[in-house]
Amino acid sequence: MRYLPKSPADREAILKAIGARSIDDLFAPIPAEYRLNRDLKIPRQMAESEIVDWFRQRSKENGLDYTSFLGAGAYMHYRPVIIDSLISRGEFLTAYTPYQAEISQGTLQAIFEFQTMICELTGMEVANASMYDGSTATAEAAMMAVRVTGRSSVVVAQSLHPEYREVLATYAHHQGMPLVTGGFTDAGRLNLKELEQSITPDTACVLIQSPNFFGTVEDVAALGEIAHQHGALLVVSIAEAVSLGIVEPPREADIVAMEAQSFGVPLGFGGPYCGVIATREKFVRHMPGRLAGQTTDRNGKRGFVLTLATREQHIRREKATSNICTNQALVALMVNIFMTVYGKVGLRELAKQNLAKTAYAADQFGRHARVLFPGAPRFNEFVVETSEDPYVINSRLLGHKLVGGLPLKKFYPELGNAALWCCTEMTTRTAIDTAVGMLAESEAEEPSGEHAVEEVAR
C-alpha cells in the first residue's frame, strides 16, 4: 500500500524486535471468534489515477457548469485563490489542535487574529475559534443564554433558517429547553407585538437571524430593547457573513452565532463550514469552544496559547459548557484569509456589489411576479411569489443550466408558490435576465410593489 512506509524487511525486523512470531500474535487480544478472516467487501485498491477519474465522474454528475440562484444559508462568493494556496501548506493542513503552543504558534496567532476580526465585524467583544457550523453555533448560543440567565426557554424567530431551527429543536429536546416560535410580518420581519407576548420570565433569550432567512434585515435595536426589557438575552444568528460589510452588525445582541461560510469557504454540498460564537466579555466563561489568548514566554516574548480550557470537556467533562472538541479550524483559517484579503474597504465594496445585483434582480423579477416582504431592507436574497409552481419554473431553468431559487413550500407551506432567490457578486446580469425571462413565460406582465422595496429609507 503506497501510503505505508515499511518494507517487508522492516516489518520482519520490527516483529523480531518485539519478539512476536507474526503479526497475528499482536491481534491475539481480540477474541478469536470476532476476528475477521476475510477481505472487507469494499472496492479493490485503486490507483491514484483511478480515484481521480472516479471522483471526476461524480463531479460531472454534480451540477458542474450550472449557474445557481440558491442561497438559503450557503452562498456562492468568489474565493480568492490564495486561500487554498495558504491552507494547503502542510504546516496548517496537517497540524493538530495547538495544545503544544511552542510548536503551534502559527495556528495560534492565526486564531487570535480570527477572533479579533470576528469581534470587529460582529461588534462583539470576544469570539471563539469556531463551532461546527451556523446551525450548531446557534443551538449552542441558545444553550449558553440558558446558562447565563439561569432561565430555560427560548423564543425563536420563524424566520431563522428552518434547518437551524430543526437543529435547535434536536439539541433543546433533552435539555428541558422549551421553544416558542415568533412569526413574521408582511415586511418579512419578526412580529414585535407577537414577540412581546411570547416572552415570559423564563425566557432566556430571543433568538433571531439577521439578515433573516428571507434576506430581510431585522430591526435588531428594537428586538434588543424588547428582550432586554424582559431580562432576556438577544441572540442573533448570521448566516450570510458578507452582509456584515454593509449591514449594521447586531450591536445590541448579547450573543452572535454566525455561519462564516460566505467568507471564502466552498459551498461543498453543505460542508465543512465554519460556525462561530461571539459575545460580551462578561459572558466568556459561559462560552463553548476553543479560545486562543495572548501570553508571554519565559523571556517575556509575546506568544499565544489555548486558554480558558476550564470551560471545556477535556477538563470539566460532564460539567463543560459544551462537548465540542474538534472544531472547524482549517475552515476558520479560510475565513481568516478571506477577511484579511478584503479587509476594511473590500468587505464593504463586496457587500455593495451583492446589494446592487440583488436590487437589480429584485427589480427585474418584480416586473413579472410578486416580490414579497417589501418595506424592509434586504441584503442579497429576496422572495418571489409566482402563480406557477416554482418547481416547474426551476425545471425549465435547469434545461438552460440555471438553478432557480429555493421553493419555500418545503419549509413554509403557508408561503405557497414563493421561492427564495439569491444574487451575489458572482451573479451576472445575463444570468438574471435569462432567469427573469424564463420565469416571465408563465407570469403576467404586472409590476409588483417591488419598486417600493428599493427605497426603504424613504
Ligand X SMILES: Cc1ncc(COP(=O)(O)O)c(C=O)c1O
Which residues ranging from 325 to 344 are in contact with ligand X (CB under 6 A)? 325-326
Bridge partners for 154 per DSSP: 179, 205
Closest CB to other proteins among residues 57, 197: 57
Q: Choose which of 60, 193, 282, 400 interacts with other proteins (CB under 8 A).
A: 60
Contact between 171 and 204 (Cβ < 8 Å): no
Least distance from other proteins to the Cβ atom of residue 233, Å? 20
Q: Which is nearer to a copy of itself, 8 or 300 (CB)?
A: 8
Number of amino acids touching other proteins (CB under 8 A): 212
CA angle 372, 264, 53 (to 5 degrees): 105
Which one, 7 or 299, has the nearer CB to a copy of itself?
7
Neighbours of 179 (CB within 10 A): 15
Cα dihedral angle (77, 78, 83, 84), rounded to 10 degrees? Answer: 100
Q: Which does 32 bind (CB under 5 to 8 A by kind): a copy of itself, ligand X, other proteins, none?
A: none
| Of 77, 151, 290, 368, the one binding other proteins by CB under 8 A | 290
Q: Report the half-sphere exposure of 52 (CA within 13 A, side-chain side).
A: 3
* Contact residue for other proteins among 183, 193, 196, 294 (CB under 8 A): 294
Edge-to-edge strand list for the sheet holding 179-182: 126-127, 275-279, 255-259, 233-238, 203-209, 153-157, 179-182
SS3 90: helix
Query: Which region holds residue 78: left if phi is over 0, alpha if psi is between -120 and 50, else beta?
Result: beta
27 contributes a contact to a copy of itself by CB under 8 A: no
Instruction: Please give the residues from 34 up to 63 whose contact with a copy of itself meets the rule CB under 8 A.
Output: 48-49, 52
Q: How far apart are CA 103 and CA 98, in angstroms?
A: 8
DSSP 43: P
Task: Respond yes or no on whether the N-terminal peptide bond of residue 8 is cis (omega within 30° of 0).
Answer: no
Q: Select 169 or 356, whichever has its Cβ closest to a copy of itself.
A: 356
* Residue 349 C-beta: closest distance to a copy of itself, Å: 11
Binding mask 420-439 for other proteins (x = CB under 8 A): -----x--xxx-x-------
Residue 77 or 290 having the CB closest to a copy of itself: 77
Q: Is 85 in the site for a copy of itself (CB under 8 A)?
A: yes
Cα angle: 198, vertex 125, 86; to 5 degrees:
115
C-alpha cell at 236: 442573533
Residues 394-453 that bind a copy of itself (CB under 8 A): 425-426
End-to-end CA distance of the chain: 68
- Please, which of residues 211-270 interact with other proteins by CB under 8 A? 217, 244-249, 266-270
**Minimum distance, C-beta of residue 49 to a copy of itself, in the bound complex (Å):** 5
Do the beta carbons of residue 131 and residue 143 sit within 8 Å? no
Q: Does 317 bind ligand X (CB under 6 A)?
A: no
Q: Taking the CB of residue 323, how many other CB atoms lie within 10 A of it?
A: 11
> Binding residue for other proteins (CB under 8 A) from 286, 360, 367, 396?
360
Q: Shortest gap between Cβ of 22 and other proteins (angstroms)? A: 10
Residue located via cell numbers 437551524: 164
If DSSP codes are grouped into helix, strand and coil, which group holds residue 412? coil
Using CB under 8 A, which of 17, 81, 103, 457 touches a copy of itself?
81
Residue 416 binds which of a copy of itself, other proteins, ligand X, none (CB < 5-8 A, kind-dependent):
none
As measured in angstroms, the least distance from the Cβ of 314 to ligand X is 8
CA distance 105 to 101: 6
Nearest approach in angstroms of CB 98 to ligand X is 14
Q: Which amino acid is at 311?
A: R
| Closer residue to a copy of itself in complex, CB, 50/414 | 50
Does position 375 interact with other proteins (CB under 8 A)? The reply is no
Is 456 a residue that touches a copy of itself (CB under 8 A)?
no
Question: Applying CB under 6 A, which residues contact ligand X?
Answer: 325-326
Question: Applying CB under 8 A, which residues contact a copy of itself?
Answer: 48-49, 52, 78, 80-81, 85, 88-89, 425-426
